[in-house]
Structure 1
Amino acid sequence: MLDLLNAQLARLQAHRFYAGRLPHSIESAAAFAERVPLMSRAELVAEMNRPGYGAFAPVVPPVRVHLTPMGASLVPILHSANDLRAIEDACGQHLDACGVGPGDVCMVTFGYHLFVAGLFYQTQMEARGVACIPHGPGETERAARVARQCGVTVLAGNPSHALKLIEAGCPVPRVFFAGGEPFTGNGALYARVREAMPGTLLIDSYSLSECLPVARTFPGSEGVHVFDELLYAEVIDPDTGALVEEGERGELVLTHLKKELQPLLRYRTGDLTVLERTAPVHGRTVSLPRVVFGRADSMVKIKGVKVYPSELKTVLLGMKGATGAYRLVVGTKDHGGDHLTLEVEGPVEAAAIETIAERFKRQTLIHADRIEAVAKIESGALVEDIRRQTT
């Protein structure tokens, strides 16, 4: 990995965005973290909104430009021919591992308009000799009919939509590529898909428009493994920017290792995850065992522990009666110390409350003093911190 990092550092010495900001080489991962500055999404947006894409002006003509929403902006994401070939090669190795190749027929039900997922799956399948049906989302009955007509063996799309396709008569695929919503992290949804596709190889994935692809389930692995021929992954404390220990939750930071256009170094994704190193799984050793489970924004310290409110959405996934809306109320106990109440919207039964309590403690590493089911949670902040209202 150090060789790949040093090669990218050497390539970017004269890059308009990075010139004067990078070491010529590093001798360790710790040195890379110490000497290469973090990059924010705001910096990327600012440059891409400048005439000619500012300091990210393409050094070779792009062959693909797709747009991704970032705040109020639609930001162009640029790919050169070499960039696309590198992506196709990495994904091709994954398809080989999954036994997908010539003779297979893949229906892609991801979107194609602005968002890149549909085209991304189509091109990697075609590059490996797989027949591809670029159907897109919706039109469930028609999609199921087309899948039967064309003998679909591979399906790529949103898991919830895939369930509707199976119910409508779509053939059960040999391999299903999931995306667009939490999958392995949503036990109830994953169980429903497994029941509907009992013999299917189920593949979870995580990607960003700016870093495509990031990680996927490989046969024989848990969670997702990073495409570390394309990306170097780190996890930092979102508050301090310092690296966290392996297995601790924090913000995912990504570095392109080969990207020709719009290369990103130590790019803060804003996504919360846990990173672990494993024995090689089809050559990959960097795992995100829980994929991503929240955003590194609006951190609040409760009982001495950093809690990221958005990470709690995974605690409620699949809970019967829970609408998904929630709020943390943080107060002070009579004898001092923090008192934490988790309010959950919906008619949640006592058994589910117990499960939520267990999940909450496992996710945040602290105990909720009270979990309360409420009829309605008004929109607003995820945290009501009434400690600041007391003297």
Structure 2
Amino acid sequence: MSFPLDAINALLERLQHHPFYAGRLPEKIADARDFAARVPLMRRDDLVAEMRKPGFGAFASPQAVRMNFSPMGGGLVPILQTADDLARMNAACATQLSACGIGPGDVCAVTFGYHLFVAGLLYQSQMEAHGVACIPAGPGEAERTAQLCRDAGVTVLAGNPSFALRLLEAGMPAPRVFFAGGEPFTGNRTLYDRVRQAMPETQLVDSFSLSEVLPVARTFPGGEGVHVFDELVYAEVVDPDTAEPLADGERGELVLTHLCKQAQPLLRYRTGDLTVLRRTAPLHGRTVNLPRVVFGRTDSMIKAKGVKLYPSELRTVLLGIPGVTGGHRLEVGASEGRDRLTLVVQGELDEAARESVRRAFKSQALVALDGLETVESLPEGPAMVDRRT
């Protein structure tokens, strides 16, 4: 998609007198570069501080009809939606449900949590708005839930992949479509392959959202990764250090802007999530794609061999590798004027696992390991250590 100039300028005009944004925003911008240069970034701490003020401070919303909560900053922060917000979310999700062939006559079991948090109601609302019968099962009690799904003829399942596997083991027939969430899915090849083996004919859907920005993106039939709901959000990727916008295909921090949200509108909101963004040919109307979803957090970065490395990326590299039993540490050293990367892993890796780790590291970090060591026990400490002098 091209830059949504008209939608952004309408947003800027609408928020000129918003209690949080008044005096912070230009009245109009010319293009994406102008937007990034003149609209300040927002951090999660900014949202948390405002929501902890009496009446939710500048984000007070008398029109809100739904209030979920999300763990942030050491406590639970309210997430507000107006009736129009919910209607727009349901309409956007309806395009993806239709693309998956879901509609009246289908029965969906939602096994995400419902107590305070957002995922359960998000899926229930969109399914019901789309004419799909919905069972608000929630998590836990796999035996009973599997029986209910058998009795009701469930064709669509939404929930954590690990719990979905438990349901199938308890006798639930494989659904026609499975919406995965709550755990790394396409980014965890071992878990994804287990689900694919258990549901060989099922359409598998990955998704990415934040409690405060949802939905963000989902798998659409015929694509890879997840495609952004660009009628709801504008996505950018910036350098986590400099906050400068990055070109498509470069690894950086995902920044999101609500285009039309009434309650808690967020502009250039730093998610802290590492991803890659690219534009594609239209796929069910979507052109903004996160091919690898998200693969880490912007924490304690170290630059080596000309690239930025993040501790949370290491977990992505080792996820599902057999033989890994505990901690891991990336040691950055130097030899003959060149950076040297050694990954130390607690556990025992056979040659196939070692090769898998090396390939995964290079694919993730875009540079190769110089050394891979295994130890029986790894002392507590940071996930990355810079030993260069």
Distance 1:90 1:371 in 2: 45
State the 1:155 CA deviation.
Answer: 0.4
Contact 1:107–1:133 (8 Å) recurs in 2: yes
Distance 2:267 2:47 in 1: 11
1:185 aligned residue? 187
Aligned partner letter, 1:265: L
1:274 aligned residue? 276
Q: How does 1:143-222 map to 2 (within 5 A)?
A: 143-222=145-224
Q: What whole-Å deviation, never above 9, does each CA across 1:345-375 have from its counterpart, x for those lacking one? A: 2222122111111111121122211111222
1:113 aligned residue? 115
2:39 aligned residue? 36
1:240 aligned residue? 242
1:250 aligned residue? 252
2:228 aligned residue? 226
Q: How does 1:1-391 map to 2 (within 5 A)?
A: 1-58=4-61, 60-323=62-325, 325-333=327-335, 335-387=336-388, 390=389
Distance 1:95 1:377 in 2: 46
Q: What secondary structure does 1:214 align onto?
A: strand
Give the count of matched residue pairs. 386
State the 1:323 CA deviation.
Answer: 3.2
Please identify runs of 4+ aligned residues in structure 1 that moved more than 3 A.
none
Q: What secondary structure does 1:323 align onto?
A: strand
State the 1:324 CA deviation.
Answer: 5.9
Q: What secondary structure does 2:361 align onto?
A: helix
Q: What secondary structure does 2:95 align onto?
A: helix
Q: What value does the CA root-mean-square deviation take over the aligned residues? A: 1.2
Aligned partner letter, 2:299: D
Q: What secondary structure does 2:344 align onto?
A: strand
Contact 2:108–2:134 (8 Å) recurs in 1: yes
Distance 1:178 1:201 in 2: 11
Distance 2:214 2:59 in 1: 18
State the 1:296 CA deviation.
Answer: 0.9
Distance 1:360 1:127, change over 3 A: same
State the 1:330 CA deviation.
Answer: 1.7
Q: What secondary structure does 1:44 align onto?
A: helix
Q: What secondary structure does 1:63 align onto?
A: strand
Unaligned 5+ segments in structure 2 are none
Q: What whole-Å deviation, never above 9, does each CA across 1:125-173 have from its counterpart, x for those lacking one? A: 1111111111111111111111111111100011111111111110110
Distance 1:118 1:14, change over 3 A: same
Contact 1:313–1:324 (8 Å) recurs in 2: no
Aligned partner letter, 2:146: A
Aligned residues: percent identity? 66
